[in-house]
Chains A and B, each alone.
Chain A
Amino acid sequence: MSSWPVYGDWRLLTSRRVWATGYKMNCRSEVLEVSVEGRQVEEAMLAVLHTVLLHRSTGKFHYKKEGTYSIGTVGTQDVDCDFIDFTYVRVSSEELDRALRKVVGEFRDALRNSGGDGLGQMSLEFYQKKKSRWPFSDECIPWEVWTVKVHVVALATEQERQICREKVGEKLCEKIINIVEVMNRHEYLPKMPTQSELDNVFDTGLRDVQPYLYKISFQITDALGSSVTTTMRRLIKDTLAL
């Protein structure tokens, strides 16, 4: 392809890149808000999370000699919501779907049991790991955080519920368009890692796809407005000390 820079230039390139990386390490943050009925919480959250992860997942990397790698294939599937007039696309990975459903289920239960105003939020954070020397533990440096704020409303009549189905469906359509808009900006993404660095950038634990390293947490806001932190950490592989 392009010609290789000579040694002197290479050094310059390196330092510039480091600086550039450091500059771009400001974490990008996006916030979405939805108002839903209690039984719609799960599907609305899954729709948003899956849409984000669709864009932030690749096929599995297979490294070959000479530092080249090839990428597996990502399949997709449509999911119809039962309580919302809406269909979203997710990556065809049962493991990923199960993991998301688990944490969304916990969020939904926590919301239900909180007894508060029905306010809560989930955060999907993409991060990179930076190995530190012993005795320091690895750093997790987030580079993108998606926050979805949920407001649960209670509806009285069946007619209201029907309208809510359609309205929430339309709202989710807007959210998907927002998400795609952000994705399309082609802002900072971790550079493709070497084989040894793969686990610092991607979650290699899934069988069929490879999302960027992520963790999901949630918070429930109680009636007083102060946040009662019920943070769930999603453990990625065997790391995360403490």
Chain B
Amino acid sequence: METDLNSQDRKDLDKFIKFFALKTVQVIVQARLGEKICTRSSSSPTGSDWFNLAIKDIPEVTHEAKKALAGQLPAVGRSMCVEISLKTSEGDSMELEIWCLEMNEKCDKEIKVSYAVYNRLSLLLKSLLAITRVTPAYRLSRKQGHEYVILYRIYFGEVQLNGLGEGFQTVRVGTVGTPVGTITLSCAYRINLAFMSTRHFERTPPIMGIIIDHFVDRPYPSSSPMHPCNYRTTSEDTGVTYPSVEDSQEVCTTSFSTSPPSQCVFTVTKAHFQTPPPVVTDTLRVPMAGLAFSHQPAALGVGSADLAYPVVFAAGLNATHPHQLMVPGKEGGVPLAPNQPAHGTQADQERVATCTPSDGAHCAATPSSSEDTETVSNSSEGRASPHDVLETIFVRKVGAFVNKPINQVTLTSLDIPFAMFAPKNLELEDADPMVNPPDSPETTSPLQGSLLSDGSSGGSSGNTQDDFVMIDFKPAFSKDDILPMDLGTFYREFQNPPQLSSLSIDIGAQSMAEDLDSLPEKLAVHEKNVREFDAFVETLQ
């Protein structure tokens, strides 16, 4: 057996280690975003899924990781570290975890690079997926929001564990031996917080005395700026366009051979996508903006496109990648983004494609009504992006359910991202479907009809509501991650159902009259087809 690695093996090994490092960072950061991660299995190999795992690549994270690595690979004394820390709304911060990807000198010369090393790296990534949900920081990151956020920082070099406080614990995720050294992945995490239940931490802001190493200056020579795990404060990044991820689209078409086990045919081809699909790139740019539990409308005031992100994100991915990142709680597959500035048409097509059957009744409403933005803004209230985000957006200076003439609501003065898409017919009371229900709508179910004319346009006609401003609505016993339409949104949506069109006098009478008129014709038609009906009934028996 050869002991020296031939050049092809060496190249392959370096590539594996590089992409393993990048994927490791992706897994860790995505696990701290505060959302459930979901990717799809695909039975046919796509060629772009490294280690046969569907792990999405967030371009910003890849960019940061590459910046930290600067073309190097983890080696002895040079480890790649991902630091996860917590920052409160008052500005205090604290390191929670350090994930280290290290290389030591212990070599395994016998192992087959293209086969065993690859599979073991894949197994190690699976272990990482499991372990990232198990450290104390996970539960903290799931609850991040207006009280604190989780930040990440990537650095390369020596591991620095000083910031973790005393008595930190270590968990080893796994090791993989290679002919050039043994790769080790481990995590050191602070346990001070372990004694405080996560609920306690939420309720009371950290008291200065307890956490001693709050204001430790970071003496790291290679200190890189912290990045939020939820992309909330990426003010510096909003203008930056990240290079489309050419490298991670380097196709890894591994084929393995089963004819005598020592003979492995392994091909790694580079397939540079000529034109990276614009939808994917752009939407991935700030992919999680909408998923952040942010209560600051300002963060989302960049434009209506932001709110579209979670949806377009899923839609874009669906079209261009076989695996989609779904956030089940937010039902990212539901198409309801208002017009996106640049990618309207493309996203429109994909929108329909990703309409999930469980939303059957609502889906019918949304795609066809691009001009009926009231529908869109209304049903979006009902569904995707974190509902608490939308709650704040729909805080109006006038009470949410106020029964005031619509033209008093000056949309321009409101900080609503949808403002530019707010239907023009909102400004005219006459065109308001709430005030004047549409004439016998052609294809409607009663449910659809009520949704079309509900809510965001203002109070329902005929209901007198007191003025109040609804800021945050968290109904008791509700959870926000099970169904797309949770209790809060359900309650809001059905709080003010419109009048049944058949009950309003003129329309009701009108349609009733029409019905009565058309009765004789209908009867005549039915009588003609009596034979068919009888035959049908017989088949049922």
Within 8 Å of chain A (Cβ to Cβ): is B139?
yes
Q: List chain A residues, Cβ under 8 A from B326.
A: 77
Q: How many A-B residue pairs have CB under 8 A?
A: 168
Instruction: Establish whether residues A192 and B43, one from each chain, have CB atoms under 8 Å apart when the complex forms.
Output: no
Instruction: Please pick, from B41, B114, B138, the residue contacting A72 in the complex, using a CB distance under 8 A.
Output: B41
CB-CB under 8 A from B43, the residues of chain A are: 59-60, 72, 207-209
Residue of B nearest to A192 (CB): B258
**Does A225 have its Cβ within 8 Å of any Cβ on chain B?**
no
B46 contacts A by Cβ under 8 Å: yes
B142 A59 Cβ-Cβ under 8 A: no
Whether, in the assembled complex, A62 has its beta carbon less than 8 Å from a beta carbon of chain B, the answer is yes
Is B258 in contact with A195, judged by CB distance below 8 angstroms? yes
Report the separation of the CA atoms of residues A69 and B42 in the bound assembly, to the nearest whole angstrom: 15
B242 close to A (CB within 8 Å): no
Query: With A and B bound together, what is the CA distance between A177 and B23 in angstroms?
Result: 20
B164 interface residue per 8 A CB criterion: no
Which of A30-38, A103-111, A183-191 lies at the interface? A183-191
Closest CB in chain A relative to B24 CB, distance in Å: 15
Tell me the count of chain A residues lying within 8 A, CB to CB, of chain B: 53
Minimum C-beta distance from A157 to chain B (A): 18
Q: Is the CB of B258 within 8 A of A78?
A: no
* Chain B contacts with A in 459-481, Cβ cutoff 8 A: 481
For A60, the chain B residues whose CB sits under 8 A away are 43-44
- How would residues 138 to 172 of chain B score, 1 for a CB under 8 Å from any chain A CB and 0 otherwise? 11001000000000000000000000000000011
Q: Are A176 and B130 in contact (CB under 8 A)?
A: yes
- Contact between A75 and B481, CB atoms less than 8 A apart: no
- Rounded to whole angstroms, the CA-CA distance of A183 and B122 in the bound complex is 12
Of the candidate stretches B249-257, B305-313, B333-341, B384-392, the one touching chain A is: B249-257
Q: Is A4 an interface residue (CB 8 A)?
A: yes
Q: How far is the CA of A177 from the CA of B174 in the complex (A)?
A: 10
Residue A70 lies at the interface, judged by CB distance under 8 Å to chain B: yes
Report whether A73 and B42 are in contact in the complex, using a CB–CB cutoff of 8 Å: yes
Interface string of B209-222 (1 = CB under 8 A from A): 00000000000000
Task: Report yes or no: A92 in contact with B257, Cβ–Cβ below 8 A.
Answer: no
Most central of A60, A179, A184 by chain B CB within 10 Å: A184
B123 touches A68 (CB 8 A): no
B256: chain A residues at CB < 8 Å are 68-71, 192
Residue of A2, A55, A66, A71 touching B262 (CB-CB under 8 A):
A2
In the complex, the answer to whether A76 meets B39 with C-beta atoms within 8 Å is yes
Contact B127 A186 (CB under 8 A): no
Q: Is B42's CB under 8 angstroms from A55's CB?
A: no
Chain B hits for A195, CB < 8 A? 258
Which of A72, A166, A180 contacts B45, CB < 8 Å?
A72
| In the assembled complex, B441 has its CB within 8 A of some CB on chain A | no
In the complex, whether B40 has a CB less than 8 A from a CB of chain A is: yes
Chain B: minimal CB distance from A189 (Å): 9
**Bound-state Cα–Cα, A60 to B138, Å:** 31
Q: Which of A58, A89, A93, A193 has the most CB of B within 10 A?
A: A89
Residues 278 to 292 of chain B near chain A (Cβ within 8 Å): none
Least CB distance from B310 to A in Å reads 16
Which residue from A67, A78, A194 sits with its C-beta under 8 Å from B133?
A78
Q: Which of B40, B41, B254, B264 lies at the interface centre, i.e. has the most chain A CB atoms within 10 A of its CB?
A: B41
Bound state CA distance, A179 and B174, in angstroms?
11
Closest to B136 in A: A173
B265 within 8 A of A: yes
Contacts of B39 in A (CB 8 A): 75-77, 92
Q: 6 extra interchain contacts, Cβ-Cβ under 8 A, other than A55-B126, A73-B54? A: A66-B257, A67-B259, A68-B255, A68-B257, A75-B53, A184-B174
Q: 20 A-B residue contacts at CB 8 Å?
A: A1-B112, A4-B262, A59-B43, A62-B45, A67-B258, A69-B255, A70-B45, A71-B45, A72-B52, A73-B54, A88-B133, A89-B133, A92-B39, A92-B54, A93-B41, A173-B135, A180-B127, A180-B131, A192-B115, A209-B41
Interface residues of B (CB under 8 A from A): 1-2, 6, 8-9, 36-46, 49, 52-54, 112, 114-115, 120, 123-124, 126-127, 129-131, 133-135, 138-139, 142, 171-175, 197, 253-259, 261-266, 322-323, 326, 328, 481
The 10 A-B residue pairs whose C-beta atoms are closest, nearest first, are: A67-B259, A184-B174, A77-B38, A75-B39, A75-B54, A78-B36, A208-B41, A75-B41, A60-B43, A73-B49
A interface, CB within 8 angstroms of B:
1-4, 51, 54-55, 58-60, 62-64, 66-80, 85, 87-89, 91-93, 166, 173, 176-177, 179-181, 183-184, 186, 191-195, 207-209
